[in-house]
Amino acid sequence: MSILRLFGLSIALMACPTAVAQPRPDLTGTWTNASLTTLNRPAGVDKLILSKTEADALVARINIAGFAPEGAPTEDFSNPDAGAPVRGGADFGVKAYDQFWVAPGEQLALVKGEFRSSYVIDPPNGRVPMRAEYASQRPASTRYVTGVGGNEGPEAPPLSERCLIGFGNTGGPGMLSTLYNNTYQIVQAPGHVMILVEMVHDARIVPTFDSAPEARRAHRPDAVKPWLGDSVGWYEGGTLVVETINIHPAQVMASAVPVSASGKVTERFTRIADGEIFYEFSVDDPAIYSTPWRAELSFYATREQVHEYACHEGNHAMAGILGGARQLERENVAATGISIRR
């Protein structure tokens, strides 16, 4: 080959350099984010990172779903021979669980070797900066309460009663731990990442692209608002970045991380150790929050399998709610001749 041809080939190679593939994190596997840490920092705790002694002291006073920690003094169990609770009684419909039935974890969230008092890290006070005017419009928390909602038809009860998406924001965006079933399976494939959420059978399928601009161009039309939102992803070195917009409005009202039609959630997954994925998410939504905010937690490798969450099969609660409401309507018509059905 002549000197001139070699020179020309060199110039061509310099003009069209070969892209060097960036290493991508290996996220495939089965993971858990179970912990007793909550999104917001508990009252009386003034710092994010706790010592083991401080973490243990906080765990000892955490109550779960309204129940005190195992071994703590509690009221006597109800008398099974005493009949039904008084209508409107404070204990009616809220005490379906005791410690035997829940598995939220046994310690605070451990993130990069540090015990965390809250998932929120910014603002520094560890509290979600929700605007007061929005907070006042949200329904009272019914996170672990069943039978609270409409009974006009099968679409009226809350999402968790209908087994549509997991309560406690397990499916995300902003994937948080909850009472039980805190297991996830991640599968990476060319062009997609799938996150199977045990609570309650949710599967997030995130298309991935070569860059953030390309991913954002792939968002679906704003009229499409699916459960868990419209997510797209891309890799930044050793991190998977997922951006989500247009979350279903019904999910927003029930979510621990509500996001309006103009807001977005950005999640970042980084494999920092053989058994740990460092997970961050940020929320940017001026319509609901006074400032953008961020949260962190970790997913840890587990030998547990993702079990089927057959929530709606054999859902006697739904039949009971609707059947009971119809019976009350029939009794009212028989007594007064007036239908109360809405």
Predicted pLDDT at 133: 94
* Assigned token pair, 53: 């002694």
Predicted pLDDT at 321: 84
Predicted pLDDT at 147: 55
Cα–Cα distance for residue pair 22/25, rounded to 1 Å: 10
Q: How does the average pLDDT of the chain come out, rounded?
A: 85
pLDDT at 175 over 60: yes
For the stretch 314-328, pLDDT in tens is 777 788 888 999 999
Q: Are strands 202-209 and 230-236 parallel, antiparallel or unpaired?
A: parallel
Most confident listed range (40-44, 74-78, 250-254, 321-325): 40-44
**Which residue did the predictor score with more confidence, 182 or 10?**
182
Residue linked to tokens 């309560």: 167
Determine what percent of the chain is predicted with pLDDT higher than 70.
80
112-117 mean pLDDT:
98
- Mapping DSSP onto H, E and C, the string for the chain reads CCHHHHHHHHHHHHHCCCCCCCCCCCCCEEEECCCCCECCCCCCCCCCEECHHHHHHHHHCCCECCECCCCCCCCCCCCCCCCCCCCCCCCCCCCCCCHHHCCCCCCCCEECCEEECECEEECCCCCCCECHHHHCCCCCCCCCCCCCCCCCCCCCCCHHHHCCCCHHHCCCCCCCCCCCCCEEEEEEECCEEEEEECCCCEEEEEEEECCHHHHHHCCCCCCCCCCCCEEEEEEECCEEEEEEECCCHHHHHHCCCCCCCCCEEEEEEEEEECCEEEEEEEEECCCCECCCEEEEEEEEECCCCCCCCCCCCCCHHHHHHHHHHHHHHHHHHHHHCCCCCC
Cα–Cα distance for residue pair 225/249, rounded to 1 Å: 8
Residue spans of the domains in the chain: they are 29-74+85-311
Dihedral (CA of 46, 50, 51, 53) sign: positive
259-278 mean pLDDT:
97
Contact 126, 293 (CB under 8 A): no
Point out the least confidently predicted range of 16-20, 249-253, 329-333: 16-20
Dihedral (CA of 43, 46, 47, 50) sign: negative
* 221-243 core/surface letters (b: 16 or more CB in 10 A; e: else): eeeebeebbbbbbbbeeebbbbb
Cβ neighbours of 204 (radius 10 Å): 22
User: What pTM does this model have?
Assistant: 0.84
